Amino acid sequence: MSRKDKLKGIVVSLPTPTKKNYEVDYKRFKEHVAWLVDQGLVEGKAVLMGAGGLGEGYFLTREEHEKIMEALVDAANGKVPTMTGIFEVCTKEAVLRARMAEDVGIDFLQVNPPHYLAPVDEEVYVHYKMINDSADIGIMIYNTPWCAMHYEIRPKLMERLAELNNIVGVKWTSFDPVNFVTMLKQFSDKLNFIDNSTLISLAFQLGAKGYISLLGNIAPKAELYLLNLLEKREYERFDMEYKRLHAWREVLSSAEEMGFQGIGEGTISKAIFEAVGKPIGPPLPPQRRVSEENLKKIRELLNKYKVFDYALKISQEG
């Protein structure tokens, strides 16, 4: 199987377990990865990403990042492709981390455009090209229109990026519906698109090969059930089941109202894990832990939609 062909299926963004003093709990991380593999998240069906956005990659030191990658590769044991996030504004630091990932044995990098002020296309191209030329490792471009004053990667730049030999995929969403569709139509034969929106069935019909998942951390067999529907092109049924299984997204849409939206994904993601009885420690600073009052509200929302009850039912039937 080629490098590109391995980038498909459920791309599970893994949480980073922490202790009370904010130290990373590598033992728990490895146990979680091993459990996911045992549940069926293996090559051809999934990719496991450590230190992504949900995994608080923005907030890890270089040493912590390296240890997370080592733990991921060790626990995956060659049974599932591995990925890590690179979020650096400094291209030289991004190159160092890319080389570190290659040395450790990571299969893919998730790399978003550098952002402080809004970048221009040439700066973004230089960032990716320097990483591409510095390490022999697959790269998944991460379009992040919510950063840097709504900067988006568009076809003119993607034509150049697609020619770089290590770029094999795109983690894809867009604030522009035309750009969302155009990029898939124009480039899905060259690059594997991994959907990062709620328009997964549309993206697959336009050529996407996978999608990003949080639920896979909690109910991997339910997520495999959804993937099977996509593989069989049962898109209407997928939409119905996805809506039911991912109703927890109501929690995300309520984040700002509840007052726990902030700089990173650790606050809300770790609150969800805690609310379903799988606490994995506090968010890395400067992110905040949600209050007990808001944690109760999250539990009420999850219970209202009975998401995980249904996911458990599917897992048992599967």
Same domain, 174 and 268: no
Looking at residue 294, its pLDDT comes to 86
CATH number, position 82: 3.20.20.70
Same domain, 165 and 239: no
Residues belonging to the active site: 142, 171
Looking at residue 304, its pLDDT comes to 80
Grouped pLDDT means (10 residues each) for the chain, 318 residues: 95 98 98 98 99 96 99 99 98 98 99 91 98 99 88 97 99 96 98 96 98 94 96 97 80 61 84 92 94 88 78 72
Q: Is 222 part of any domain?
A: no
Looking at residue 150, its pLDDT comes to 81
Looking at residue 15, its pLDDT comes to 98
Residues 316 and 318: their CA atoms lie apart, in Å, by 5
Same domain, 167 and 239: no
Q: Is 224 part of any domain?
A: no
Looking at residue 122, its pLDDT comes to 98
Same domain, 201 and 254: no
Looking at residue 252, its pLDDT comes to 64
Same domain, 47 and 128: yes
The count of domains in the chain is 2
Same domain, 140 and 94: yes
Same domain, 163 and 295: no
* Structural domain range at position 108: 3-213
Same domain, 202 and 246: no
Same domain, 194 and 118: yes
Q: Is 223 part of any domain?
A: no
Residues 196 and 171: their CA atoms lie apart, in Å, by 6
Q: Is 171 part of any domain?
A: yes
